[in-house]
């Protein structure tokens, strides 16, 4: 089911932080949202999850207005991972991941085991969340989303707290989810990761979408130079590219 933003604008404290954004995202793709600090990336992701009320426009999931969906239906279809996720209670990792099944109102034991396995958490099942490192906690929170088997995964900088090995592991997990038909939307600051692992990239600047295309086009050097205010060039082969920047 397609996820679409239609002329989406969001205002906060009298300032327009998203300005007339329209895009249609396809299941089976990994879409990266990139842009400098304050560009509106997290706000756009939150609006897609119906956590931010638009001042105009709407978000649709398979032609249905996301805001009009029953909360349980919306939660079954859209899994959201915020940038700074907080855990209110010091539960075990297994119990935290199990919370992902709440919208389904079932135990979902197979789904919980699967999510913990792909996130490399089996050895942490009985550990309290408070004893985990930042990266381990990030994996547990992603596993909670995966346990809910949503049609769309919206994740705000999910790789930021992970070491290189676990970044690659999580990207493979998300690629497998996309290959199985799930839509994946990631906010990424690492342009090389977006170039090498995304199917599509949205580039935001001052609340506007200035590029929406394949990574090679959306992250072309001239766009990076204009949006981020640096001089850049790409080196390496497709799938293994790195961006070199100069102030």
pLDDT of residue 247 exceeding 80: no
pTM strictly above 0.75: yes
Per-residue model confidence (pLDDT) at position 83:
85
Picking from 164, 166, 142, the residue whose alpha carbon sits closest to that of residue 154 is 142
pLDDT of residue 135: 87
**Closest to 54 (Cα-Cα) out of 16, 1, 2:** 16
The pLDDT of 146-169, averaged and rounded, is: 93
Of the candidates 111, 112, 163, 120, the residue with the CA atom closest to the CA atom of residue 139: 120
Q: Tell me how far apart the alpha carbons of residues 138 and 144 are, in angstroms, rounded to a whole number.
A: 10
Alpha-carbon distance of 44 to 55, in angstroms, equals 13
Number of neighbours of residue 102 by Cβ within 10 angstroms = 15
Query: 87 falls in which pLDDT band (50, 70, 90)?
Result: confident
Structural domains for the chain = 3-246 (3.40.50.300)
Q: How far apart are CA 99 and CA 101, in angstroms?
A: 5
Q: Would the pLDDT of 86 be above 80?
A: no
Query: What is the Cα–Cα distance from 72 to 50, expressed in whole angstroms?
Result: 13
Beta strands in 86-131 (DSSP E): none
What sign results for the dihedral spanned by CA atoms 10, 17, 189, 5?
A: positive
pLDDT recorded at residue 19: 97
Q: What are phi and psi of 226, to 5 degrees?
A: -75, -45
If you ran DSSP here, which 8-state letter would residue 24 be given?
Answer: E
State yes or no: pLDDT of 69 exceeds 80: yes
Cβ 2 vs Cβ 48: under 8 Å: no
């Amino acid at each position: 089911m397609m996820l679409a933003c239609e002329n989406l604008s969001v205002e906060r404290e009298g300032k327009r932080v998203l300005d007339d954004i329209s895009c249609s995202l396809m299941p089976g793709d990994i879409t990266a949202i990139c842009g400098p600090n304050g560009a509106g990336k997290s706000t756009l992701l939150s609006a897609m999850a119906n956590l931010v009320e638009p001042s105009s426009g709407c978000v649709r999931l398979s032609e249905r207005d996301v805001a009009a969906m029953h909360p349980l239906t919306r939660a079954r279809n859209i899994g959201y991972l915020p940038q700074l996720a907080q855990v209110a209670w010091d539960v075990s990792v297994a119990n935290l991941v199990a919370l992902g099944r709440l919208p389904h109102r079932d135990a979902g034991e197979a789904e919980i085991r699967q999510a913990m396995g792909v996130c490399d958490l089996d050895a942490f099942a009985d550990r309290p969340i408070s004893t985990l490192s930042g990266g381990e906690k990030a994996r547990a929170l992603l596993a909670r989303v995966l346990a809910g088997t949503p049609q769309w995964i919206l994740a705000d900088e999910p790789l930021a707290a992970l070491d290189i090995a676990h970044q690659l592991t999580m990207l493979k997990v998300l690629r497998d989810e996309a290959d199985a038909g799930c839509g994946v939307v990631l906010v990424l600051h690492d342009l090389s990761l977006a170039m090498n692992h995304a199917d599509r990239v949205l580039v935001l600047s001052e609340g506007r979408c200035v590029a929406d295309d394949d990574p090679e086009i959306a992250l072309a050097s001239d766009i990076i130079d204009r949006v981020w205010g640096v001089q850049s060039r790409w080196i390496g082969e497709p799938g293994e590219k790195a961006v070199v920047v100069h102030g």
